[in-house]
Amino acid sequence: MSDLPPSNKNQWKTLDKDLGRIAQMEQAMTFITRPMVAVSIGLLFVLICAVAAVVFSGGTSSTLIIVMAAAFGAYMALNIGANDVANNMGPAVGANALTMGGALIIAAVFETLGALVAGGDVVSTISGGIVAPESVADPDTFVWAMMAALIAAAVWLNLATWLGAPVSTTHSIVGGVMGAGITAAGFDAVAWGKMGQIAASWVISPVLGGLIAALFLAFIKAFINDVPDKLGAARRWVPILIGIMFGAFSAYLAVKGLKKIIEVSLAQAMVLGLVVAVVSAVVMRPMVRKQADGMENRKKSLKKLFGMPLIVSAALLSFAHGANDVANAVGPLAAIVHAVQDNATEAKVTIPIWVMVIGAGGISFGLLLFGPKLIRLVGAEITKLNALRAYCVALSAAITVIVASWLGLPVSSTHIAVGAVFGVGFYREWHAERRFRKLGISKGAEVPVEERKRRKLVRRVHFLGIAAAWVVTVPATAILSAGIFMVLRFVS
Q: What is the pLDDT of residues 438-470, one digit of tens each?
A: 766 555 555 555 555 555 677 777 888 888 888
Question: What does the alpha-carbon distance between residue 99 and residue 289 come to, in Å, rounded to a whole number?
Answer: 27
Helical H segments across 343-456, by residue range: 353-370, 372-376, 387-407, 413-438, 449-455
Distances (CA, A) of 395 to 87, 106, 219, 424, 425: 13, 18, 13, 12, 16
Per cent of the chain over pLDDT 90 is: 17
- Kind and range of the H or E element at 245? helix 230-256
Question: What does the alpha-carbon distance between residue 250 and residue 317 come to, in Å, rounded to a whole number?
Answer: 11
Question: What does the alpha-carbon distance between residue 464 and residue 154 come to, in Å, rounded to a whole number?
Answer: 23
User: Among 23-27, 143-147, 269-273, which stretch is predicted with the lowest mean pLDDT?
Assistant: 23-27
Q: What is the pLDDT of residue 455?
A: 53
Task: Check if the beta carbon of residue 417 is closer than 8 Å to that of residue 210.
Answer: no
Q: What is the pTM of this model?
A: 0.81
Measured at the CA of 317, the angle between CA 404 and CA 277, to 5 degrees, comes to 70
Is residue 20's pLDDT more than 80? no
Is residue 284's pLDDT more than 80? yes
Q: What is the pLDDT of residue 122?
A: 45
Task: Check if the beta carbon of residue 322 is closer than 8 Å to that of residue 363.
Answer: yes
Q: What is the pLDDT of residue 28?
A: 46
Question: What does the alpha-carbon distance between residue 149 and residue 69 come to, in Å, rounded to a whole number?
Answer: 11
Q: What is the pLDDT of residue 33?
A: 43
Amino acid at 154: A
95's CB contacts (< 8 A; 6+ apart) are: 303, 310, 379, 385, 386, 387, 389, 390, 391
Question: What does the alpha-carbon distance between residue 219 and residue 214 come to, in Å, rounded to a whole number?
Answer: 9
Region 401-415: mean pLDDT is 75
3-state secondary structure 52-82: HHHHHHCCCCCHHHHHHHHHHHHHHHHHHHH
Environment class of 294 (CB within 10 Å of its CB; exposed 0-12, middle 13-18, buried 19+)? exposed
Number of residues assigned to the chain: 492
CB count within 10 Å of CB 248 equals: 24
- Kind and range of the H or E element at 124? strand 122-124
Question: What does the alpha-carbon distance between residue 205 and residue 411 come to, in Å, rounded to a whole number?
Answer: 5
* DSSP category for residue 190: B
Task: Check if the beta carbon of residue 114 is closer than 8 Å to that of residue 340.
Answer: no
Amino acid at 367: L
Task: Check if the beta carbon of residue 345 is closer than 8 Å to that of residue 133.
Answer: yes
Residue 491 CA from chain centroid, whole number: 35
Q: What is the pLDDT of residue 71?
A: 93
Q: In the structure, what pLDDT confidence band is assigned to residue 243 with cuts at 50, 70 and 90?
A: very high
Higher pLDDT pick, 58 / 357:
357
Any idea where the domains of the chain sit in the sequence? 40-491
Distances (CA, A) of 410 to 37, 200, 395, 473: 38, 8, 19, 16
Amino acid at 138: D
Question: What angle do the packed helices 353-370 and 6-57 form, to 10 degrees?
Answer: 160
The CA radius of gyration of the chain, in Å to the nearest whole number, is: 26
Q: What is the pLDDT of residue 24?
A: 56
Handedness of CA 38, 44, 48, 53 (dihedral sign): positive
Question: What does the alpha-carbon distance between residue 116 and residue 7 come to, in Å, rounded to a whole number?
Answer: 70
Is residue 192's pLDDT more than 90? no
Q: What is the pLDDT of residue 481?
A: 95
Cα within 13 Å of Cα(87), Cβ side: 33
Higher pLDDT pick, 450 / 43:
43
Top mean pLDDT of 23-32, 253-262, 268-277, 315-324 is at 268-277
The mean pLDDT of the chain is 80
Environment class of 443 (CB within 10 Å of its CB; exposed 0-12, middle 13-18, buried 19+)? exposed
Question: What does the alpha-carbon distance between residue 235 and residue 289 come to, in Å, rounded to a whole number?
Answer: 6
Does residue 349 sit in helix, strand or coil?
strand
pLDDT single digits (tens) 329-363: 777 888 788 777 776 655 556 677 888 888 888 88
Q: What is the pLDDT of residue 249?
A: 84
3-state secondary structure 97-130: CCCHHHHHHHHHHHHHHHHHHHCCCEEECCCCCC
Q: What is the pLDDT of residue 31?
A: 43
**Biggest distance spanned by C-alpha atoms of the chain:** 91
Q: In the structure, what pLDDT confidence band is assigned to residue 201 with cuts at 50, 70 and 90?
A: confident
Region 412-416: mean pLDDT is 82
Q: What is the pLDDT of residue 276?
A: 93
Paired strand residues for 348:
124
